[in-house]
């Protein structure tokens, strides 16, 4: 009942066959057992997920195995130097004579050994800095998974907890706002399997696209339409976001107060969260600024810091205002307002700014902004980073998938917590959440293109690799009889080499130089 790999040397995709003849199946069909759907695939056709097909009567994975290149390594030269150097005995001295691996075998295209009581599709011995390592490689099927999307914008996207829809179906919700960014939580088992069949299918399609770094259109109940995608600028109600705010209104006052001093008598930095007023703010007090008598709408939190000056929206500083004077109730002469007072109103990105001078009746009149003030407004923009969407994939790998690694799954969980195991997704570094289970989080922009797949159960398919020292693998009850040399994997064909994303640590390095107790 095991799945085996027929060696290929022609660069074609990996081929699987089955040791058990499927029952009640038409001649020529092959049965895929890589997920619970158990497709029976006719000759020349694909399974329901397009990941497997019937090629000349043989079950075949449509994507090839992805090998991540080690920067600066020469694969061809390495292969030439490897000939006959490994005798198949993992912990034998002969196995340690090979040189450092030039590629990392990722889970992308590696196939799935569902259900997981079978060893993982690839258990590969390799070497780094003279240390023998084993990498256990698979494409996991995850229904307990989701995407956390960080959208760098101050525009109002919708109320916290609001439902996020894709093509009319509920696929997630609005999470918290962090400093200059709105978070969404998208996908997850509730939407994949807890609602209607259509909701699950649409949620899965949306998740697949997000994982594969494509743009996805979302609609937030009571809020905006947004287009998000990894490393792309968000588009809010049809307008591409350019700048992430320099800080909240109070922070902007603190940063630029000395540069405004002497050029303006009052500065209001309009912000949906904290609107800053320079003369009242601690920064203005340090500069001995005279009170301006400005009376602002909203709730005064602490001196120079106002909440709720307007409603959230797509106007100045994430508020709904288009006229900045709409948040000014007036000027009080008994508190320092005077004719000729110079007032700057500016947003937290510097995209909106206006200059006023009070007339004899203490009415603010628009005037030409002095060059020295305009320069500081420009500097606000200069200090804003480009707005981007960041897409992080979160998945729980603490279940049966572990049985593909070891006959004693808790040993893998413990070894990960002890940092004896480097967990990666497509060779990209992951963050393993503390606490129980193996909950991983990875930036999809660090993974190779098209790392994700799906199956119609519905669930997401994503690569995962566990790398550890060979002796540690033996100690945790690993499937030692299934270990293959990297040379052997290369000789079987059906792979392609992809570049590692910039900044990714070499996946084989951590088990050696990481925080080993
Ligand atoms: S949906 Fe895909 S993985 Fe599942 S059985 Fe069919 S072909 Fe195999």
Q: What is the pLDDT of residues 207-221, one digit of tens each?
A: 999 999 999 999 999
195 CB burial (10 A radius; 0-12, 13-18, 19+):
middle
What pLDDT, on a 0 to 100 scale, did the predictor assign at position 86? 54
Closest C-alpha among 417, 512, 504 to residue 469: 512
Ligand 1: nearest atom to the Cα of 33: 5
Arithmetic mean of pLDDT, 71-82: 78
What pLDDT, on a 0 to 100 scale, did the predictor assign at position 441? 98
Q: Is the CB of 38 under 6 A from ligand 1?
A: yes
Residue nearest to atom 7 of ligand 1 (CA): 47
Task: Count CA within 13 A, CB hemisphere, residue 134.
Answer: 27
Contact partners, residue 265, CB within 8 Å, separation at least 6: 279, 289, 290, 292, 341, 342, 343
Closest C-alpha among 65, 69, 78, 128 to residue 504: 69
Per residue in 307-329, pLDDT (tens digit) is: 999 999 989 999 999 999 999 99
- Contact criterion met (CB below 8 Å) for 208 and 453: yes
Per residue in 349-372, pLDDT (tens digit) is: 999 999 999 999 999 999 999 999
Share of the chain above pLDDT 70, in %: 91
Arithmetic mean of pLDDT, 67-96: 67
Q: What is the CA radius of gyration of the chain?
A: 29
Closest C-alpha among 227, 274, 186 to residue 387: 227
Ligand 1 centre distance from Cα of residue 60 (Å): 11
Arithmetic mean of pLDDT, 274-292: 97
Residue nearest to atom 2 of ligand 1 (CA): 49
- Is 90 exceeded by the pLDDT of residue 72? no
- Contact criterion met (CB below 8 Å) for 366 and 354: yes
Ligand 1: nearest atom to the Cα of 456: 1
Across the chain, what does the average pLDDT equal?
90
- Is 50 exceeded by the pLDDT of residue 92? no
- Contact criterion met (CB below 8 Å) for 311 and 336: no
Q: At what angle do helices 249-260 and 371-382 cross, to 10 degrees?
A: 140
Distances from the Cα of 364 to the Cα of 27, 319, 438, angstroms:
86, 21, 60
Closest C-alpha among 144, 155, 195 to residue 171: 195
Ligand 1 centre distance from Cα of residue 449 (Å): 21
Share of the chain above pLDDT 90, in %: 80
Q: From the centroid of its chain, how far is CA 370?
A: 43
What pLDDT, on a 0 to 100 scale, did the predictor assign at position 85? 56
- Is 50 exceeded by the pLDDT of residue 141? yes
Q: Is the CB of 46 under 6 A from ligand 1?
A: no
- Is 80 exceeded by the pLDDT of residue 431? yes
Arithmetic mean of pLDDT, 115-127: 88
Q: Is the CB of 49 under 6 A from ligand 1?
A: yes
| Calpha distance 485→126 (Å, rounded) | 6
């Amino acid at each position: 009942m095991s799945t085996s790999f027929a060696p290929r040397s022609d660069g074609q995709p990996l081929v699987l066959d089955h040791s058990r003849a499927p029952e009640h199946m038409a001649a020529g069909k092959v049965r895929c057992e890589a997920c619970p759907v158990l497709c029976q695939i006719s000759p020349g056709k694909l399974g329901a997920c397009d990941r497997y097909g019937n090629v000349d009567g043989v079950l075949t994975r449509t994507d090839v195995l992805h090998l991540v290149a080690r920067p600066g390594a020469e694969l061809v030269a390495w292969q030439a130097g490897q000939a006959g150097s490994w005798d198949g005995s993992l912990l034998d001295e002969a196995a340690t004579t090979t040189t450092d691996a030039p590629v990392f075998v990722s889970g992308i295209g590696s196939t799935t050994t569902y259900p997981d009581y079978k060893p993982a599709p690839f258990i590969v011995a390799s070497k780094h800095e003279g240390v023998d390592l084993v990498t256990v490689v698979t494409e996991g099927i995850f229904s307990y998974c989701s995407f956390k999307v960080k959208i760098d914008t101050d525009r109002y996207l919708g109320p916290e907890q609001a439902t996020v829809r894709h093509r009319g179906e509920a696929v997630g919700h609005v999470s918290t706002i962090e400093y200059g960014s709105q978070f969404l939580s998208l996908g997850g088992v509730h939407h994949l399997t807890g609602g209607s069949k259509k909701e699950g299918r649409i949620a899965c399609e949306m998740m697949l696209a997000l994982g594969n770094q494509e743009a996805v259109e979302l609609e937030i109940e009571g809020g905006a339409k947004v287009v998000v995608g990894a490393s792309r600028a968000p588009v809010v109600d049809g307008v591409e976001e350019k700048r992430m705010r320099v800080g909240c209104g109070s922070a902007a006052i603190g940063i630029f107060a000395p540069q405004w001093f002497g050029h303006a008598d009052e500065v209001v930095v309009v912000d949906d969260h904290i609107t800053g007023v320079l003369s009242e703010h601690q920064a203005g007090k340090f500069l001995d600024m005279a009170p301006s008598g400005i009376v602002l709408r909203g709730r005064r939190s602490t001196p120079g810091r106002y909440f709720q000056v307007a409603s959230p929206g797509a106007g100045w500083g994430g508020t709904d205002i288009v006229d900045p004077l709409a948040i000014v109730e007036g000027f009080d002469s008994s508190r320092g307002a005077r004719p000729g007072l110079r007032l700057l109103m500016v947003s937290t990105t510097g995209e909106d700014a206006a200059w006023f001078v009070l007339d004899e009746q203490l009415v603010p009149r628009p005037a030409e902004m002095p060059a020295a003030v305009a320069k500081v407004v420009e500097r606000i923009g200069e200090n804003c980073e480009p707005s981007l969407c960041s897409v992080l994939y979160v998945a729980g790998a603490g279940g049966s998938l572990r049985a593909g690694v070891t006959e004693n799954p808790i040993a893998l969980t413990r070894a990960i917590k002890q940092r004896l195991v480097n967990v990666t997704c497509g060779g990209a570094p992951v963050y393993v959440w503390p606490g129980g289970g193996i909950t991983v989080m990875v930036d999809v922009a660090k993974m190779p293109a098209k790392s994700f797949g799906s199956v119609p159960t519905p669930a997401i398919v994503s690569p995962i690799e566990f790398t550890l020292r060979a002796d540690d693998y033996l100690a945790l009850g690993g499937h030692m009889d299934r270990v293959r040399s990297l040379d052997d994997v290369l000789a079987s064909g059906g792979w392609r080499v992809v570049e590692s994303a910039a900044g990714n640590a070499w996946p084989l390095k951590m088990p050696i130089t990481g925080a080993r107790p």
